[in-house]
Amino acid sequence: MKKTLISLLLLLSVGLHAQAQLKYKPHKKKDYVVTISTRLGDIKMILFDDALQHKKNFLKLASQHFYDSTSFHRVLDGFMIQGGDPNTKPSNDSTRIGMGGPGYELNAELNTPYKHERGMVAAARQNDSVNPNKKSSGSQFYIVQANEGAHHLDGAYTIFGQVISGMEVVDVIAAEDVDRSARPLEPIRMSVSLERMKKKDITKEFGYEYKGK
């Protein structure tokens, strides 16, 4: 009995370690669906291989539960919702909300065909005056909520994903009451999970069409 319990614990440890070390490689037939779960509902996203470093980084952080219990901390109805700052976790320094990350930035990946259409997912970053190379935050991201998009940001921020289900949840989050800093009065915490699916099943379930098909 004792040996069986030890074996099970070892298998669990190995499984958790493997998940924490997730390393994405593009696959012809499979992809990850990212689910952001909140008290207001779920948002499902696909991340683009065109912005491969941003995709790999987001999947790595999600597999390590980096985003769990963080909040959407900047919500602008008719524009976008932003999250991914570890300083929004309950036990972290709330005076530095908006400035947090994993301790590194990502080089911009701007040479993609994507524009800031409604539902696009992009990396937040510091402004050009202190960040002339347009490097992305290592973890903070935003989802375009405006019906007409946010095309004034095209070519300046890395777009690395798209909402494939749950834009109605994005709209509800955007409509939440906020303070003068555009922070929701009641925190909108998230947990992020990953599901590996066949691309044909993603297309069938969510209507998302992969390029080159």
For 11-25, give the secondary structure using H, E and C.
HHHHHHHHHHCCCCC
Question: Quick one: what percent of the chain has pLDDT higher than 70?
Answer: 89
Q: What pLDDT, on the 0 to 100 scale, is given for residue 213?
A: 52
Q: Please state whether the predicted TM-score (pTM) of the whole model is above 0.95.
A: no
Tokens encoding 32: 């990850």
pLDDT over 50 at 9, yes or no: no
- Give the chain's length: 213
Q: What pLDDT, on the 0 to 100 scale, is given for residue 8?
A: 41
Tell me which residue of 58, 60, 213 sits closest to 143, measured CA to CA: 58
Flag whether 110 is in a domain: yes
Provide the domain limits for residue 108.
Answer: 31-206
CA separation (Å) from 129 to 69, 120, 133, 135, 212?
Answer: 31, 25, 10, 12, 38
Flag whether 26 is in a domain: no
Flag whether 179 is in a domain: yes
Segment 140-193, tens digit of pLDDT:
999 999 999 999 999 999 999 999 999 999 999 999 999 999 999 999 999 999
Flag whether 1 is in a domain: no
Q: What pLDDT, on the 0 to 100 scale, is given for residue 128?
A: 96
CATH code where residue 94 lies: 2.40.100.10
Flag whether 19 is in a domain: no
Flag whether 20 is in a domain: no
Q: What pLDDT, on the 0 to 100 scale, is given for residue 129?
A: 96
Structural domains of the chain, count = 1
The pLDDT-based confidence of 96 (bands split at 50, 70, 90) is confident
Q: What pLDDT, on the 0 to 100 scale, is given for residue 14?
A: 37
The pLDDT-based confidence of 212 (bands split at 50, 70, 90) is low
CA separation (Å) from 164 to 38, 45, 205?
Answer: 16, 5, 10
Spacing of C-alpha 127 from chain mean position: 20
Tokens encoding 97: 């909300």
Q: What pLDDT, on the 0 to 100 scale, is given for residue 147?
A: 98
Flag whether 83 is in a domain: yes
For 77-148, where are the E strands, in sequence order? 80-83, 105-106, 120-123, 136-137, 141-144
At position 172, the amino acid (one-letter code) is: V
